[in-house]
Structure formats: structure tokens, C-alpha cells
Structure 1
Amino acid sequence: MFQLALMEINREETRRRVEEELERARIYKEVGFVRKETQLTPAYEPRYHGSTNVTSNQIENVAIFNVDTESRLKQAYERVNIALRGLKRMERDIINMRYLDDEDVLDFNVYNDLALSERSYYRRKSRALYKMAFAMNLEVYVCDTDVTA
């Protein structure tokens, strides 16, 4: 309990991690998951190399990648949706419009569309990002080592 009191949040890193997760969710929402395919074209040149006694199964590696990556992206998308449900309506609108709807939306466009002042918009956006960081367990702490007990 005492150690938690000594830790403060690294705001920039926390915001960056939440924005990365939101970008990943937006891409999954728009595109879904593009599966890798195996390359089954044989090479007709002889390969002269020593035996490494290592077997490689390209089909197995691609299948594992496809299943793991799709599962990870789907979980991230669901985690973002759950975190969004915990926000107030205006905060949810800000996050959806800025990060999840379109790719090239600027803050200027969002606060004009929502009829908010610039200051009010940035306060609400910041509050929403930190609520989402805690909901998705993405917060980054900085431990202050100069404090003595």
C-alpha cells in the first residue's frame, strides 16, 4: 500500500499506449484480420548447406500466427468496447469520433462538431483517455526513488 502511494503516472506514456490500443481497435474494426498465406512454390535451385537438424514447418508457423494474432486483435477490440461503455456520453463521443470512426480526423474537427470549446474538449478527452487506461490496465507508473520513508 505504501509503495503505491510513491508511484505516479507517466502521463505521456500512458496516453501513447491507450492511443495505440485505440488505433489497433480501429484497424480491426475497419479491416478485420488479414491472414497470412503459405508460400508453396518450390525452389528449383539446389541448396547446398550443412545439416542443421532443425525442422521447419511453414504451414504450422503460419497457422499459429493467424490464430494467435486474430485472437489478440479481437480481444483488444473487445477490451476497447468495454472501456468505452464505462465513459460518459460526451467522452464516448469524443473517443469514437477522434480515434475509432475515421483515420484522418483532427481534434479541431471533433470539438467543432460537438460544439465544445477547445479547452473543454481537451479536458474531456484527457479524462476519457485516462479512464480508458485504467479500464484496460494500460497505465504506466513512474517510481519516485528519491522519497525517503
Structure 2
Amino acid sequence: MVQQLSFELPEIDRQATRDAVERALETARFYKEVGFVPRMPPVSHSFPRTDADFIHGQNNNRSAVEEAAVYNVDEYEHRRQVVEQVERAVGRLGPLERKIITKKYLEQDEIPDYCVATELSLSERKYYRVKARAIYKLAFSLRIEVMHEQK
């Protein structure tokens, strides 16, 4: 007799997943809108106290200029990657899903759902159904879906 394998797939936590996707979309919108303002090092300079400090840097730490430069490069790259990842995921959505997500979350002004639905000539029910489907697609595309705890 052949035994059938059975296993349970974890159930998605819909609210937590939606919240995670909305945070990712808002973060990307914010990064695009604000851009990046580089951190500037302090104007005053502290001189090394000993010859060893001069050669190796004080306590082998980076100088304020180096810290600012590293932060600027790392933070700029992080923000660029976040925006690029979200834009790529949104680009994979269907045309109507992409319009809804772009208008609701990625344009500069926050627009209420009913305005987006009206602008796209959608019934409220269809709007929410398509939006929910788009959010779950984005969650899996961005790998930020949240599963319920296994009991």
C-alpha cells in the first residue's frame, strides 16, 4: 500500500504581511522623495596626542571624515537598493495592480483609497480585491511575507 505524504503549509498572517508591504512601499516613496543628504564631518579638527595616534589614528578608530565618508557611501547604496527592489517588484505586477500600487503608495501625495478607485473607474469592491492581490504578490516578491506561528 502506498502512503501519501502530508504536510501543512504555514498560514500567512494577512494583517502583518500587509503592514510589512505598506512599510516597504512607504520607505521607498520616502527615499525617492527626500533623496539623500550626505553627512558632513565636523569642521573642527582634533590633533593626535602622540606619535602613535598620528600614525595609527586615535585608538585605531576612523577619523570623523572617514566615518562620514563610509556612512555616506553605505547609506546612499542602501537607499538606492531599497528603491530599486521595490520598483522592480512593482514592475512585475499586472497593469491594473501596478497603477493602484503606484497611485496609492509611490506618488508624492497620499491619496485615499476611494479617490484612487474613482480615478481608475473601479468599483470599491474590485479596487480592494485587486489591491489585496497586489499586496500579497509584492510580499512574496520582496520576501517580506509574515507567517502565523506553528503550534
TM-score, length basis structure 1: 0.80
- CA distance in structure 2 between the partners assigned to 1:64 and 1:116 by the alignment: 48
Instruction: Identify the residue that residue 23 of structure 1 maps to in structure 2.
Output: 26
- 2:14 corresponds, among 11, 17, 40, to 11
Sequence identity of aligned pairs in percent?
Answer: 41
CA contact (8 A) 2:33 2:108 kept: no
1:22, 1:100 within 8 Å by CA — same for their partners in 2? yes
Q: Deviations over 1:110-134 (max 9, x none)?
A: 0110111111111111110110111
Match of 1:140? 146
Contact 1:6 1:144 in 2 (8 A): no
Instruction: Quote the Cα distance in structure 1 between the aligned partners of 2:37 and 2:15.
Output: 31
SS of the counterpart of 2:129? helix
Query: Structure 1: which amino acid aligns with 2:26?
Result: E
If each structure's strand is expressed as a fraction of its own residues, which one has the higher value? 1
SS in 1 for 2:44: coil
1:42-81 equivalence runs, <5 A = 55=61, 57-81=63-87
Which amino acid in 2 is paired with 1:8?
Answer: E
Task: Kindly indicate whether residue 115 of structure 2 is the aligned counterpart of residue 109 of structure 1.
Answer: yes
Q: Which has the higher contact order (CA 8 A, sep 6+)?
A: 1
Distance 2:61 2:95 in 1: 54
Structure 1, gaps ≥5 residues long: 44-52
Structure with max Cα Rg: 2
Give the Cα separation in 2 of the matches to 1:33 and 1:76.
Answer: 13
Q: Whole-Å Cα distance in 1 between the matches of residues 61 and 122 of structure 2?
A: 61
1:122 is aligned to: 128
TM-score, scaled to structure 2? 0.79
Where in structure 2 are there 5+ consecutive unaligned residues? 47-58
Equivalent residue, structure 1, for 2:38 = 35
1:18–1:138 CA contact under 8 A, matched in 2: yes
Q: CA deviation at 1:66?
A: 1.3
1:111/1:18 Cα in 2 relative to 1: closer, same or farther (>3 Å)?
same
